[in-house]
Amino acid sequence: MRRWEKKGLITPMRTAGNRRRYTVRQLDDMLGLNTQKELGAVARRGLVIGYCRVSSSGQKADLERQAEVVANYCEKQGYQFRIIKDIGSGMNYKKKGLQELLRLVCEGGCGKIVVNYKDRLVRFGYELIETVCEEHNV
């Protein structure tokens, strides 16, 4: 995998601990497993996104602890994952990280979302986001 990375054939995502993570799709592409059936299975699995949010910059230490808990959970589950962090009100739907998360869900780049608590995602409207995720098999 590292040789492929050095040659520029594959680009890993990095965990908070700087460990390399690859998606199943990346590995399948490298191994030539490109049949439509296999691609459909890969797309359904998708990348796991760990989403962490705090309300203010004074809570940065809490944000890091939250990210560590989510990353540890994802690692123990064997997920290929990426952590998205946000600082801002749970009632603000225009946070950069939340927008990125929703874009990944809608584009099929996310198979599962992991959060510590539902209110870390949004304060109100969780059910709406849950419905969007269900419509995209997330």
Q: Enter the pTM of the model.
A: 0.66
Instruction: Determine the Cα–Cα distance for residues 64 and 57; give it in Å rounded to an integer.
Output: 11
User: Is residue 55 among the annotated active site residues?
Assistant: yes
Checking if the pLDDT of 37 tops 60, the result is no
| Residues in Cβ contact with 136 at an 8 Å cutoff, skipping those fewer than 6 apart | 105, 106, 108, 110
Instruction: Determine the Cα–Cα distance for residues 94 and 128; give it in Å rounded to an integer.
Output: 15
**C-alpha 133: how far from chain center:** 13
Residue type, 82: R
For the chain, domain boundaries: 2-135
Instruction: Determine the Cα–Cα distance for residues 73 and 70; give it in Å rounded to an integer.
Output: 5
Checking if the pLDDT of 40 tops 70, the result is no
Pick the catalytic residue: 55, 56, 57, 89?
55
For 76-135, how does the pLDDT look when each residue is reduced to its tens digit (9 = 90+)? Answer: 888 889 999 999 888 888 899 999 999 999 988 899 999 998 888 888 888 999 999 999
CATH number of 2-135: 3.40.50.1390
